[in-house]
Structure 1
Amino acid sequence: MLEVKDLSVSFEDFTVLRNVNLKLDKEVCVVLGPNGSGKTTLLRAVSGIVPYKGSIKINGKEVRSAKGVLEYSTNLQEVYTIGNSAWDTAKIITEIKGGDLKEFLSIIDYFNLDRKVLRKPVYKMSTGQKALVSLALALFTNPQVVTVDEPIENVDVNRRDKVVSLLRERVKEGIIVTHQRELVKAFKEARVYTIVNGELVEGDKMQ
């Protein structure tokens, strides 16, 4: 279960998110908003990357005080700076969270990526490679709760359907943030929210 209560995130004098409340129990929601609206900041807060006021709990554990919520994963690329290469990163993840490296490779092959790309760290890949490899790193351990940032942005058209199919198969609880409405159509059963002026509003309110 993911529970966000009275969440606010500010940087110096600028408030990015205010009074965000969200509760997910074995369900997926799609959060819409233009670039710069605070979507990624929401995921960074849930991931414990940025300080916040309020409460974020994953299966009852407060994110800021939990050293490692092993049942949670995200595709935020800044999380994957461990290891000298993407392959090293995948091995470290299996040591921490469990999982099967063969499963990681199967997702890489599913995306029709050359395995040679795994010799590079994520930050040295092309934008499309970063998106796909980060998603593979997020999902290969079959985490219980997942947050996904702009999963089809920078992904070529031929692979977008593969990304959506993988998300539908593997993400059973969590948040998918996007500025592309085609993901709302792909997740018809999901609740839809929009970030408007730093607040989370139910429904598609994106202009």
Structure 2
Amino acid sequence: MPAISVQNVSVDLGGVHVLEDLTFAIPQGDVVAILGPNGSGKTTLLKAMLGLIPFHGEIRIFGKHLHAVRELIAYVPQRFDFDREFPITVGEYMDLARHRHTPPDRIASRLAEVGLPATLLDQRLGSLSGGQMQRVLIAQALLNNPLVLFLDEPAANIDISGEATFTGILKDLSKRQDVTVVMVTHDISMVTGLVDHVLCLDGRMLCFGRTNQVLTEKKINEVFRGDSAGRSH
């Protein structure tokens, strides 16, 4: 049984046809990248798979409808907007964000999984770098032990030097913990070094398959059509 099954999914937003007749299946424990130019429907598809927007067709997680698997999925957004002067620590944020008390040792364990020290628990959230903040958000998402992790442009706030660490974190989640990772990204270099399957979008599905089979130079040019954002790093 696939982790995620998408059958004949289309999305209309505000009278605009954003996604058309998408069908694909994602194996459990795989890392999958959703690629496409700006406005291609990448984030829209992510929101549909999260059940955040209406859609036509069928999406199942481990064979079940979305409303039945809320506890099995987690989401890390592209942007986390907050007042950096607000006096809250990393530990306090992670405890509050879960809506139930979480022992500090469990929070520290999740931080360790993403390469962050336990001393960060007492550090003010607003003092973190972009890369640290991204890892904290992933650690917070992992507190519920999800089987599927969705990420929207996860490398957007990470510099090149931190990208290898971040890639290692996602590989560990998928290969050692069997978490299925689905991410929207523009970063081709991250895709080639990390991702098992690639889904290419431009309102419709341009490709879906194993990265080494479908992500050719010709396909990259077809998908991005000169969009330099798709050739970052």
Helix, strand or coil at the partner of 2:48: helix
Contact 1:2 / 1:174 at 8 angstroms: preserved in 2? Answer: no
TM-score, scaled relative to structure 1: 0.77
TM-score, scaled relative to structure 2: 0.69
Residues in 1 aligned to 2:189 and 2:118: alpha-carbon distance in whole angstroms? 22
Contact 1:111 / 1:162 at 8 angstroms: preserved in 2? Answer: no
How far has the Cα of 1:109 moved from its partner? 5.2
Residues in 1 aligned to 2:133 and 2:32: alpha-carbon distance in whole angstroms? 23
Contact 2:111 / 2:118 at 8 angstroms: preserved in 1? Answer: no
CA gap 1:3/1:110 in 2 versus in 1, 3 angstroms: same
Q: Which has the higher helix share?
A: 2
C-alpha offsets along residues 24-51 of structure 1, whole Å, 9 cap, x if unaligned?
Answer: 1223322211232211111111111111
1:154 to 132, 153, 157: 157
Q: 1:92 and 2:99 equivalent?
A: yes
Residue 227 of structure 2 corresponds to: none
CA gap 1:111/1:100 in 2 versus in 1, 3 angstroms: closer
CA gap 1:108/1:165 in 2 versus in 1, 3 angstroms: closer
Residues in 2 aligned to 1:109 and 1:174: alpha-carbon distance in whole angstroms? 18
Q: 1:110 and 2:111 equivalent?
A: no
Contact 2:111 / 2:117 at 8 angstroms: preserved in 1? Answer: no
Residue 187 of structure 1 corresponds to: 194
Residues in 1 aligned to 2:78 and 2:99: alpha-carbon distance in whole angstroms? 15
Residue 133 of structure 1 corresponds to: 136
How far has the Cα of 1:119 moved from its partner? 4.7
C-alpha offsets along residues 97-120 of structure 1, whole Å, 9 cap, x if unaligned?
Answer: xx9322233246528995455656
How far has the Cα of 1:153 moved from its partner? 1.1
CA gap 1:33/1:94 in 2 versus in 1, 3 angstroms: farther
CA gap 1:32/1:115 in 2 versus in 1, 3 angstroms: same
Helix, strand or coil at the partner of 1:34: coil
Contact 1:139 / 1:170 at 8 angstroms: preserved in 2? Answer: no
Contact 1:17 / 1:38 at 8 angstroms: preserved in 2? Answer: yes
Helix, strand or coil at the partner of 1:154: coil
Contact 1:71 / 1:145 at 8 angstroms: preserved in 2? Answer: yes
2:11 to 6, 9, 12: 9
Considering only CA atoms, is the larger Rg found in Structure 1 or Structure 2?
A: 2
How far has the Cα of 1:9 moved from its partner? 1.5
Q: 1:32 and 2:35 equivalent?
A: yes
Residues in 2 aligned to 1:91 and 1:70: alpha-carbon distance in whole angstroms? 12
Residue 72 of structure 1 corresponds to: 73
How many percent identity over aligned positions? 28
Aligned length: 195
Root-mean-square deviation (CA, aligned residues, Å) is 3.3
Residue 199 of structure 1 corresponds to: 204
Unaligned stretches of 5+ residues in structure 1:
none
Letter in 2 for 1:9: V
CA gap 1:52/1:116 in 2 versus in 1, 3 angstroms: farther
C-alpha offsets along residues 71-117 of structure 1, whole Å, 9 cap, x if unaligned?
Answer: 22221268999xx863234543777xxx9322233246528995455
Residues in 1 aligned to 2:132 and 2:109: alpha-carbon distance in whole angstroms? 18
Residue 59 of structure 1 corresponds to: 62
Residues in 2 aligned to 1:192 and 1:175: alpha-carbon distance in whole angstroms? 10
Unaligned stretches of 5+ residues in structure 2:
83-87, 208-213, 225-233
2:171 to 168, 172, 187: 168
Letter in 1 for 2:181: G
